[in-house]
Amino acid sequence: MHEHTVRATTTNGVVEGFARDGVNRWRSIPYARPPVGSLRFRAPQPVQPSRGVRYCHSFSNCAPQQRRYTMLGLGKYQPMGEDCLTLNVVTPRWSGSQPDSEPLPVMFFIH
């Protein structure tokens, strides 16, 4: 699938991503519980901690919207669903098994 896998420990458990083109990537890390059922139209609730490794190699659902805005190219569409409260993280690739100790700037983009 990918050249190298990378893992990071978060307050909600271990997430596994992949390294490619000089960067580490984690896709679709949940930052809140899915806003479905009794959680619909409520403030986001904390995500449940994971006991195992959460595999974050692929994109998850995008928020429900008109389908024409979700085209990925070549006739493929991004899946939609209410379980879409996730984020993607990209960092410079680090050497060894742990990130460097020096903090890095963070860019936060909401779409």
pLDDT for the residue numbered 66: 76
108: exposed, middle or buried (Cβ count in 10 Å: 0-12, 13-18, 19+) = exposed
Which backbone phi and psi does 37 adopt, to 5 degrees?
A: 60, -130
The average confidence (pLDDT) of the chain is 85
Residue 2 pLDDT exceeds 70: no
Single pTM value for the model: 0.80
Question: Which amino acid belongs to residue 36?
Answer: V
Residue scoring higher pLDDT (51 or 98): 51
pLDDT for the residue numbered 103: 76
* 45-92: pLDDT as tens digits: 999 999 999 999 998 888 887 776 666 665 677 788 899 999 999 998
